[in-house]
Amino acid sequence: MTQTRTASSHTCAWCGWEFTVNRRGRPKKYCSQSCKQRAYEQRNRVSGTDIPAQAVIIQPERAAALRDSLFELRCAAEDVAIASAEGAESTEIQELCRELVDLARTIEKLR
């Protein structure tokens, strides 16, 4: 009996994006050849060191940008909490929530 895979959603092991696989055989780990290449380069950089293979090495500038983005995310969450505690109208809270979600999605892309 042969098994066939139906379309299913996978998460890229490098960038974290969801992608659809609709084929037989071993499921893909990466959404693109570029992500596959970046993962290969990363594995080679840490081979022979004490750094775990799953570790992600980023440039200091990107780490600083990530910290700044996380600070923005926390501030946006605090804005929602304050607006809610002060009895803001639902439209204002909905707008703040939309901004919070948009910011979180942007941060997710920083992988």
CA 100, 101, 102, 104 torsion: positive or negative?
positive
pLDDT score of 7: 63
Tell me the pairing of strands 18-21 and 8-11.
antiparallel
Give the model confidence (pLDDT) of 37-56 as tens digits: 988 888 887 778 888 877 77
Give the model confidence (pLDDT) of 47-85 as tens digits: 788 888 777 777 889 889 889 999 999 999 999 999 999
The secondary structure of residue 12, as a DSSP letter, is -
pLDDT score of 91: 94
* Helix extents (H) in the chain: 33-46, 60-85, 90-108
